[in-house]
Amino acid sequence: MIQEGDWDMGIAKILAQRLCATQYQNLPDAALYWGKVALMDTVGVMLAGSQESAPQILRSVLSAAPGPCLLLGSTDRVPCLEAALINGTAAHALDFDNTAAHFAGHISAVMVPALLAAGESFDVSIQSLLLAHSVGFEVGCRIGRGVNQGLYHSEKGWHPTSTLGVFAVAAACARLLNLTEAQSEQALLIATSLSSGIKANFGTMTKPLHVGECARAGLMAALLARQGFDAHAQAFEHPQGFFNLYNGPGHYDVEAVNEDWGNPFDVVTPGASYKQYPCCYSTHAAIEAALMLVREHGVFDAESIDTIETFTPAFGLAYTNRPQPHSDLDAKFSVQYCVVKALLSGQVVLEDFEENAFLDPTVQKLLPRVNSQKYTGVMFDPQDPFDAELQVTLKSGARLHSKVDRPLGRTSAVPIPFERLRAKFENCAARVLTPEAVAQAAELLSLADKNAGSVRAFTAILAGVRG
């Protein structure tokens, strides 16, 4: 049993010991179930995202040589690091992928592309991938607990998806490839120098590039460590190490990293947050508040609305207060646009962020009537800032009000039904795969926690793209 005094060993060494000690048979059924959900959800959004400009431009610039790893959305195969980079960028291109509370970012999108690439390269099983995902999830959230005190890391301007995600990926790939404790420690230490990503680039193609670079960097750290590459043993704790540079003295808690490993596993409780809507998660509670009004009153006619007031937490409002989006990607981060679409059509879907849908004349007419403000409701939890309130004032004088404390899917305690998540996968996958491939992939993923099949067999199905 590792005691608090053992932290003199170094954070990376202790995390390496714990991730290597975690075995598939020790994982609770709930961890395997949520790993299956994460794999299905991430592969679906990766397939749909593969057709977006960011991964397409990246492919044209890299011109990678042939290799063993599938580029999703195509039949092309490239070396594993390039596959992790391009598929990782695709996984976040639609901003439709899951997040984790303690991690404060998009956790499966960084890991799954790297795990698929490593799994194809080294011929591992789906079950090994699920184990690796749970371990990487745990390491990412452990480090997140240490640096996300008061959300300081994120509010400073770092994008935790990539700054912390590189450790989740390095840990997951180390476990997938059965690295030793010493090699796993080095992978985490190497990753401290590969951590990057700034929030100023939200709403641009560079945000999903953060995910691709993170997937590539974490996998590279594991592969380098496997070959004997080394890094400083105190790269986390050093005065010029990760914690002090990225957060600053007094703004992190080392002991929080060490509390209750796997008790429960973070992938189980609180679990990941899953998206029903293909836009920034900080807009989701407001969308649900709008849809509550639609369910009660029917879809709204723009002419009947006088004003719309949204109330969302300052944390999210800082990057979703975009009264007049200027691109499809920008619209994903506009709480005003997302609420208007929900009120006018009773849904928010992928097509609402394609082909300049935000320029629809009816939408443009209503956007100036939206006033978005900071939410300070009595139930507001500053450590989980995703509540929202909405007030719609009609020209008749009627005032309609709704409130959402937590969007469905926010935690494992308020799960989206599996059938709905499978339908999301099928909808995303159908954009690029044949109907037969969609059905085969969906069935395999539905049984992933019960199936010992190989990653290579799975990606062979994903190569069934439409002509």
On the CB side of 395, CA atoms within 13 Å amount to 9
Residue 342 CA to residue 347 CA, distance in Å, equals: 5
Euclidean distance between CA atoms 31 and 17, whole angstroms: 20
State residue 383's pLDDT score: 57
pTM, rounded to two decimals = 0.85
DSSP H stretches of helix in 106-205: 108-122, 126-147, 152-155, 160-163, 165-176, 181-191
**103, 104, 130: which is closest to 115 by C-alpha?**
130
d(CA 321, CA 301) in angstroms, rounded, equals 23
Helices (H), 352-409: 361-366
Q: Is CATH 3.30.1330.120 the classification given to domain 281-404?
A: yes
Cα gap 401→218, rounded to integer Å: 45
Cα dist from 2 to 15, 17, 79, 261, whole Å: 10, 9, 39, 11
Residues of the chain with CATH 1.10.4100.10: 4-273
Query: Max CA-CA distance within the chain?
Result: 72
Distance from first CA to last CA of the chain, Å, rounded? 56
Q: What ranges in 298-334 are assigned the alpha helix state H?
A: 314-320, 328-331
Q: What is the pLDDT of residue 1?
A: 33
Instruction: Classify 401 as helix, strand or coil.
Output: strand
- Contact present, 334 and 342 (Cβ < 8 Å): no
CA nearest 339: which of 319, 355, 323, 360?
323
**In this predicted structure, what is the pLDDT of residue 4?**
39
Q: Is the dihedral of CA 79, 454, 31, 180 positive or negative?
A: negative
CA distance 88 to 46: 8
CA 42, 45, 47, 52 torsion: positive or negative?
negative
pLDDT of residue 82: 97
The 3-class SS string of 180-231 reads: CHHHHHHHHHHHHHHCCCEHHHCCCCHHHHHHHHHHHHHHHHHHHHHCCCCC
Query: How do strand 370-374 and strand 305-312 relate by DSSP bridges?
Result: parallel
* Separation of alpha carbons 431 and 438, rounded Å: 10
Residue intervals of the chain classified under CATH 3.30.1330.120 are 281-404
Look at residue 379 in the predicted model and tell me its pLDDT.
52
Q: Return the beta strands (E) in 50-127 as ranges.
A: 69-70, 77-78, 99-100
- pLDDT mean for each 10 residues of the chain (467 residues): 49 96 94 97 98 95 89 96 98 93 94 98 96 98 89 89 98 98 98 96 94 98 98 95 93 88 93 91 93 96 97 90 94 96 94 94 97 76 76 97 88 90 94 97 93 91 93
CATH superfamily entry for domain 4-273: 2-methylcitrate dehydratase PrpD (1.10.4100.10)
